[in-house]
Amino acid sequence: MNHERSSFLFQQAKIAIPGGVNSPVRAFKSVGADPIFIKKASGCHIYDEDGNSFTDYVGSWGPMIVGHCHPDVISAVQETMASGASFGAPTERETTLATMVIDAVPSVEMVRMVSSGTEATMSAIRLARGFTGRDKILKFSGCYHGHADSLLVKAGSGAATFGVPDSPGVPADVARLTLTAEYNSLDSVKRLIAENSNSIACIIVEPVAGNMGTVPPREGFLEGLREICTNEGIVLIFDEVMSGFRVAYGGAQELFGVTPDMTTLGKIIGGGLPVGAFGGRREIMEKLSPSGGIYQAGTLSGNPLAMSAGIATLNILKQPGFYAALEEKSRAVAEGIAKGARDAGYPIYSTRVGSMFCAFFSKSEVYDWPTASQCDTKAFARYFLGMLDEGIYLAPSQFETAFVSAAHTEADIEKTIAAAAKCFKLIA
């Protein structure tokens, strides 16, 4: 498959943009190739600058659950654009989408719109700190919550309590306020809480981890976090930027029946446009300025184009049978890929929650970051490049989630399964 023009455009981009990309994983570094530059998309297909067509399982990293360029979404954005792209003032659409979110997500009694997932998590943490009067936060290895300073932190060695910066530019004084536990381990959480009694404002977690591949919560994990936070006066934040409206209409909290105190959202509620949101219990949310003293603001928050795209998308998701049909498609493709690996005698560990799935290149179960990090990333790179040559577009990293959309057809899924079987035979 020819990628000559994409390679040329990448060289040009590197002159003007650091690393040639505006978000690091797009650079294809972990798979040892140059990125492909996308020209257009439709349904579940994307088309690059060289004229190649791909079946897309990235979906702009999740939001394209109804497919690219859905006519209802396009129409809503075009109609809104004709009246103005941004006002920096209230619009009725903001309340409409906010009400739809409140009706859908169990934990959300009030919601504030922002422009990105990073903004949402950063703001939710500030609000939790202001609400509790505590400074420390607890996160989990392998869970990504955006690039705010306090969240770019990994655990220290051994049983170290305090985090260390995971990126240059993050002050050590900020990092020391971030504690890092292991995903799916309540013992690691309890140990950190015991060592930091009455000083932790919030626990933030992806209820379905999607940034180390798709890692489901083990039975009792989310329920345990809920009980701990209730007993300790800690705000429990579910980061559902990825899983919200993706694994169920009410997100992972609806699917697993565990209600956090706050929720961060993004991706789907903008229908592909830049958006984020954070919401939760009324008594917490009312501490936000201007009703309270905790400051958060943004000129583009509640942007009318993003609100219109989100409203149109959620109206599609509400249609009877939408998630049942998506579940069946997702099951078929994930199980088909896993079968191809088994038939080739090549070990993978397959995971799926709703329309999020991952093929871990590991012989062992993956349930946290230490087990995920043992995957054979070189084998994944060969698989990724093989699938790309077969016209299947996956995320260019072992530690990312694949997404199925309503636009994927039976023929698309059959093509994907056949391509995977071929690739597993080649690398076995």
Q: Which sign, positive or negative, has the C-alpha torsion 148, 99, 311, 301?
A: negative
The string of DSSP letters for 266-316 reads: EGGGGTTSS-EEEEE-HHHHTTBTTTSSB----TTTT-HHHHHHHHHHHHH
Backbone conformation region of residue 96, classed left if phi is above 0, alpha if psi is from -120 to 50, else beta: alpha
What does the pLDDT look like over 142-159, one tens digit per residue? Answer: 899 988 888 887 633 232
Report which residue type is found at 241.
V
DSSP single-letter state for residue 74: H
What does the pLDDT look like over 325-354, one tens digit per residue? Answer: 999 999 999 999 999 999 999 989 999 999
Residues 101 and 277 sit within 8 Å (Cβ to Cβ): yes
Relative orientation angle of helices 71-81 and 304-317, to the nearest 10 degrees:
160
What does the pLDDT look like over 177-192, one tens digit per residue? Answer: 999 999 999 999 999 9
- The separation between the first and the last C-alpha atoms of the chain, rounded to the nearest angstrom, is 22
The string of DSSP letters for 362-379 reads: -SS---SHHHHTTS-HHH
* CA-closest candidate to residue 38, choices 205, 272, 268: 272
Q: How far apart are CA 338 and CA 417, in angstroms?
A: 9
In this prediction, residue 162 carries a pLDDT of 42
In this prediction, residue 159 carries a pLDDT of 28
In this prediction, residue 165 carries a pLDDT of 64
Report which residue type is found at 355.
S
In Å, how far are 153, 185, 201, 360 from 198, measured between CA atoms? 21, 21, 8, 38
- Asked if the peptide bond before residue 320 counts as cis, ω within 30 degrees of 0, the response is no
Relative orientation angle of helices 92-104 and 304-317, to the nearest 10 degrees:
40
Active-site positions? 144, 239, 267
Q: In terms of pTM, does the model score above 0.85?
A: yes
Taken in order of first residue, the domains within the chain and their CATH numbers are 4-69+321-427 (3.90.1150.10), 71-317 (3.40.640.10)
Residues in the chain: 428
Q: How far apart are CA 189 and CA 192, in angstroms?
A: 5
Number of Cβ within a 10 Å radius of residue 141? 20
Q: Which residues of the chain have pLDDT under 70?
A: 154-166
